[in-house]
Amino acid sequence: MKRRDLLTLPATAALAFSANPKPAKLTPGQLAADPQRPKFHLLPAANWMNDPNGPIYWKGRYHMFYQYNPNGAFWGTMHWGHAVSSDMVHWRHMPVAMAPQPGLYDKEGVFSGCCVVNEGVPTFVYTGTRPEESQCIATARADDLRSWKRPASNPVIAAPPEGIDATGFRDPCVWKQNDQWFMALGSGQKGVGGMVLLYQSPDLTKWNYIGPLFEGKLDPEAKGNNVVARGEMWECPSFFPLGEKHVLFVSTRGTTPCWIGTFKDNRFSAEWEGSIDTGSYYAPITQLDDRGRRVVWGWIQEQRNSEAQRAAGWSGVMSLPRVLSVRQDGSLGINFAPQLRSLRGKRQEFVGLFIPEDKPEPVPGVAGDALELLATFDMGDADEVGLQVLGTPVLYSHSRKRLRIGTARLEQNNNLQVQRGEPLRLHIYADCSVIEVIADGKCALTGRSYQAPGDSQQVYAIANGGSAKLRSFTAYEVRPISSDRLTT
Ligand code: FRU
């Protein structure tokens, strides 16, 4: 580990690291004292999390499950962690919902999946690894969704269909249509590209392969040995109706391509292509909230090295809930869930703040590590406009039609083209080391900022290559979701 890396660690983690290269488990007090640990995002009290799994609103409560390693802040021995909420905002941790079972089809990991209600019984459909991937189910023993039973019929799909040289076979997304169950499953074909397989079942136990739901083409430029990084394998498909259309997204090549189109004769055809989020965000999954809104959750990844993650004692954060829609022009609409407004604390408002060229302008009195910011810019003749928050710039470039947070780039999005004279609206949540941004309700970008203790948390308005104006600006302090930062 380099000295520079050590210096950017929180004090508790740096101590743990220097005392022992394989850090001892941190105490709850040490974890709670970590200034980089988010205050209003969901994450396990300690250790590693990745994908959100099986989010469901059941009997008046939101249940969130997620890929969890109880052995430390690194990926491995995947379990399903569990948290409960009455509003999708304030969470309480529950005991682990599912652990790998020795000798069985998920002995090497309980991988990602979904939760559906079958004849009144919440049922997980997930991937077991043995290490071969197969699809399995588990049924809830009671309405608190704490304890799950694996039926003798597992695995319900033991292997990929004949004739497909599959690069992977995992992460079922299941829904019901006309009394039949359907499953979209992440896969790909060697040398061809990622694909989503479509299955059908009368009862979640007997499954028939129908054919590919949607296929990608391998980018000839794509390099590396890893089939997911190369785009030859698509993980975590999500498929659901939205308005008059259907939406499909997958996770591959470190990002989250999304298509809007039509589902007909068991095939999906795309009419619009974009992304859910091209920043530190992966493996999104959706659910319906109590009002029928389509809410998407994603895994916010760390952007620091694995030693720093192990030393901190935690890694990975659940994104804030975002509501999806199809806009009038057929593109994706995305906005933070209105439930988050319940976290708003002290409010400050400004209008008509001039932003000089190339000289960040402090927004008077607006500083902190837990903030919600709503800014409407008039770009003037500037090329880039935005805010600096947690020491990190969040900028939209007019010439590049690009939004960025520090180094996270949103380049491929054909959806954010703000003309001069038109307002640009940024909605930002900043939480200690997490920055989530939604621009104009059209595209989202997540970034990380690991500030050192004592760094400035002042918010600045920025205009590069010309001057600009903040037409309006509202800042809220955001209240923490638990008193000890550990969501217990
Ligand atoms: C995506 C993923 C899934 C898999 C899980 C394992 O991040 O690789 O494909 O089910 O994570 O933790």
Catalytic residue list contains 51: yes
Question: Out of 8-17, 333-342, 351-360, which region has the weakest mean confidence (pLDDT)?
Answer: 8-17
What phi-psi label fits residue 178: left (phi over 0), alpha (psi between -120 and 50 degrees) or beta? left
What Cα–Cα distance (Å) separates residue 82 from each residue in 145, 229, 460? 9, 28, 38
Mean pLDDT of 289-307: 97
Mean pLDDT of 251-271: 96
β-strands 314-315, 47-58 pairing: parallel
Is residue 8 scored above 50 in pLDDT? no
If pLDDT is split at 50, 70 and 90, which confidence band does 224 have?
confident
Type of residue found at 222: A
Q: Compute the Cα dihedral for 314, 342, 66, 199 and give only its sign.
A: negative
If pLDDT is split at 50, 70 and 90, which confidence band does 112 have?
very high
Alpha helical stretches, state H, 279-359? 306-312
For residue 22, the model assigns a pLDDT of 58
Query: Which residue shows structure tokens 């988050």?
Result: 340
For residue 20, the model assigns a pLDDT of 41
Pocket residues for ligand 1 (CB within 6 Å)? 50-51, 67, 78, 111-112, 127, 170-171, 235-236, 251, 282-283
Mutate to test the pocket of ligand 1, among 171, 196, 297 (most ligand atoms within 8 A of CB): 171
Task: Read off the tokens for 217.
Answer: 């083409």
Q: Write down the mean pLDDT value for the chain.
A: 93
Is residue 409 scored above 90 in pLDDT? no
Mutate to test the pocket of ligand 1, among 170, 233, 281, 318 (most ligand atoms within 8 A of CB): 170
Is residue 9 scored above 90 in pLDDT? no
pLDDT tens profile 127-140: 999 999 999 999 99
* Residue from 51, 171, 369, 440 carrying the catalytic annotation: 51
Grouping H, G, I as helix, E, B as strand and the rest as coil, residue 450 is coil
pLDDT tens profile 352-389: 999 999 999 999 999 999 999 999 999 999 999 999 99
If pLDDT is split at 50, 70 and 90, which confidence band does 23 have?
low
pTM above 0.85, yes or no: yes
Secondary-structure percent of the chain, ordered helix, strand, coil, rounded to 5: 5, 50, 40
What Cα–Cα distance (Å) separates residue 421 from each residue in 15, 352, 469, 472? 52, 15, 11, 15
Is residue 88 scored above 90 in pLDDT? yes
Instruction: Give the Å distance between the CA of 112 and the centre of ligand 1.
Output: 6
